[in-house]
Chain A
Amino acid sequence: MSQVPSAVLSCHNLGKSFGRDRRRDTVLADINLSLQQGDFVTILGQSGGGKSTLLKLMGGFLAPSSGSVSFHGQPLKGITPKIGMVFQEHSLYPWMTVEQNIGFGFKVRGELPQSYRNRVQNMIEQVELDDARKRYPHQLSGGMKQRVAIARSLVVKPDVLLLDEPFSALDVQLRRQLQAFLLAIWRETSTPMLLVTHNVEEAILLGQRLIVVGDRPGQIIAEVSTAAAEFRGRYHPKFLKLQRHLESVLEYNSATADLEYHPEETASAWQN
């Protein structure tokens, strides 16, 4: 997992601590990962384990305590519109309609409406919010709000999209609909995506590559390729086996956790 020159976004020995001296709390340590063009990487970890901090570091929202973040091979110096971000809690502007929220990125940069009107229109159609274009956020469901937030980030064509547990506040049914929606958007746009979640099923289902971040200090304890077609069906035996394995990895904070937990069962499963 060393720094790859052609990576769109990468980090090298990244670490983050809060506080000073005795009260120093190391949240992340020695994180190395890279995101290539067309990648969909999911980061799995327990709540409070530093996943969101990792995402904020990768997006330039926080400065690292050690190590570095590179964007297109250059050191990342702060927030850039080229790295889009979708937050856990929607951050839509309540006084703007769906259409205005989606076009906000252009407006706040001072671009003229005629220069971006068509792009906003196309994005509204792409996220299937045509009927809701004149509605305000309080008139939308939780799923619609997140679709608007994703559309707003994508319409300005970022080079990378970071997603911080975007579906965690939604019920199971809606979450599944939006997972399918996000996959479809990713296939259509090929925008590299980095999504953090504490939901094992979501991490396997969405990512082409899955990285498990352990607890305090957060370090990468496992990396799994989930690009195979079997991992797109949540009832496939391979999917379920990996899900169980990752659940025990998270529980015991160790990559070999399930061998300790279900030795006779998992040893044979992973030999196949």
Chain B
Amino acid sequence: MSAVGFAMFNPKFDQSWKRSVLSVTCGLISCIVLILLWEWMGSSPENPVTQVLPPPSRFLPVLFESDFKIGLGSQSASIYQSIFVTLLRVLTGMTLAFVGSVLCGMLISLSKWSELFILPILGLIAPIAPIAWVPLALVVFGISNLTAVFIVFMGVFFTLTIATVAEIKRIPDNLLITAKNLGGQEFNVWRMVILPSVLPGVFTLLRLNFIAAWMAVLAAEMTGLRDGLGAVVMTGRNLFNSNLILLGICVIGITGFAVDRLLLLIQKKFFWWQV
């Protein structure tokens, strides 16, 4: 049965399908309106904004001619490489923070004393903005991928650990009592009941923290690291190349949006339940 045919015989699917089409259409329309506005603003040569914000009709042909290469000679790298490097840093840091925070949160919840001693420390470190770790990370790890991964990790880990402890406390008693009543071994109760109960909530927070992690890595790339999307924007600034600056900004926005959608997809596919 075709997708359209399936939708016709399944009212629920039909509704969600319509909602998706509507949301994509509205998003596209607003993007087109924004581009048109940008083009209209930049079309007047007297407008001083045109010098720093070239319209799409001038900006896009330059990009295609340049083969999306940034830098000179052997130092040059393609924009795809920059996207890959930045994504790799963010996703590695977030994955480590996610796994680490869930494990730490569970370990802390094992004992009331560890909660009393460790949670205040986490509460003290969690509000530190990830960007504040940049100078320290550069001194400790130097100019390397490790610096970026460390910044992302520090920006996400503490908040997620506190969230894991809170999620464990929020698990309905019935779910735990039932598992114990059925003869559940302690380790299996943690693995089969507590872990799946906390994962959706912690993952949602991870998704919300992604923006902060993303910004932190870009800041690190702009201030210390030599590659990645943040470095593209800084190269544009150093060369007085507004096209390059715009390219960096656009790619940062589009990639960030794409990753957020990807995380949403993962959430819907693997962590869809609520306890």
16 inter-chain pairs at a CB distance below 8 angstroms, sorted by A residue, are A79-B177, A83-B181, A85-B181, A87-B178, A91-B172, A91-B177, A93-B193, A94-B274, A95-B196, A95-B273, A105-B182, A107-B192, A108-B192, A136-B273, A138-B273, A156-B183
Q: How far is the CA of A4 from the CA of B182 in the complex (A)?
A: 27
A80→B182 CA distance, assembly (Å): 8
Whether, in the assembled complex, A89 has its beta carbon less than 8 Å from a beta carbon of chain B, the answer is: yes
Q: Is A20 an interface residue (CB 8 A)?
A: no
Residues in A neighbouring B183, C-beta threshold 8 A: 80-81, 105, 108-109, 156
Closest Cβ neighbor of B185 among chain A residues: A110
A84 within 8 A of B: yes
Tell me, rounded to whole Å, the shortest Cβ–Cβ distance linking B241 to chain A: 51
Q: Is the CB of A108 within 8 A of B181?
A: no
Does more than half of chain B's interface fall in helix, strand or loop, or is it mixed?
Answer: helix
B179 interfacial contact with A, CB 8 Å: yes
Chain B positions near chain A (C-beta within 8 angstroms): 172, 174-175, 177-185, 188-189, 192-193, 196, 273-275
Inter-subunit contact B185/A109 (CB<8 Å)? yes
Chain A nearest Cβ from B190, distance in angstroms: 11
Chain B residue contacts of A107, Cβ below 8 A: 188, 192
The docked-state distance in angstroms from the alpha carbon of A83 to that of B180 is 11
Indicate if the CB atoms of A91 and B182 lie closer than 8 Å.
Answer: no
Give the CA-CA distance A84 to B181 in the complex, in Å: 7
Q: Is A104 an interface residue (CB 8 A)?
A: yes
- Is A145 engaged at the interface, CB distance under 8 Å to the other chain? no
Bound CA–CA A61/B176 (angstroms)? 12
Most buried by A among B172, B183, B188, B273: B183
- Cross-interface CB contact of A110 among B180, B188, B193, cutoff 8 Å: B188
Q: Fill in one digit per residue for A70-114: 1 if any B CB lies within 8 Å of its CB, else 0.
A: 000000000111011101010101110000000011011110000
Residues of A with Cβ closer than 8 Å to B?
59, 61, 79-81, 83-85, 87, 89, 91, 93-95, 104-105, 107-110, 136, 138, 152-153, 156
Tell me the bound Cα distance from A110 to B192 in angstroms.
11
Which of chain A's residues has its CB closest to B172's CB? A91
A61 with B188, Cβ < 8 A, contacts A95-B273, A105-B182, A109-B183 known = no
Closest Cβ–Cβ distance, residue A160 to chain B (whole Å): 12
Give complex CA distance A244, B30 in Å.
68
Chain A residues with CB under 8 A of B192? 104, 107-108
Q: Are B174 and A91 in contact (CB under 8 A)?
A: yes
Q: Which residues of B contact A110 (CB under 8 A)?
A: 185, 188
Q: Tell me the bound Cα distance from A25 to B180 in angstroms.
A: 28
- Chain A residues near B185: list those with CB within 8 A: 108-110
Q: Give CA–CA (A94, B179) in the complex, Å.
A: 14
Contacts of B196 in A (CB 8 A): 93, 95
With a cutoff of 8 Å between Cβ atoms, the chain B residues found around residue A87 in the complex are 174, 177-178
Complex Cα spacing A84 to B182, Å: 7
Tell me, rounded to whole Å, the shortest Cβ–Cβ distance linking A228 to chain B: 33
Q: CB-CB < 8 A to A81: which residues of B?
A: 181-183
Q: State the Cβ distance, B91 to closest chain A Cβ, in Å.
A: 24
Closest Cβ of chain A to B203, distance in Å, is 13
Alpha-carbon distance A9/B172, docked complex (angstroms) = 28
Q: Which of A85, A91, A95, A104 has most B Cβ within 10 Å?
A: A95
Give the nearest-CB partner of A91 in chain B: B174
Smallest beta-carbon distance A97→chain B, Å: 12
Q: Using Cβ atoms and an 8 Å threshold, which residues of chain B touch A59? A: 181
Assess whether B174 is in contact with A89, with CB atoms less than 8 Å apart. Answer: yes
Further pairs besides A61-B177, A110-B188: 9, Cβ < 8 Å: A81-B182, A85-B181, A87-B174, A91-B172, A94-B273, A104-B179, A108-B183, A108-B188, A108-B189
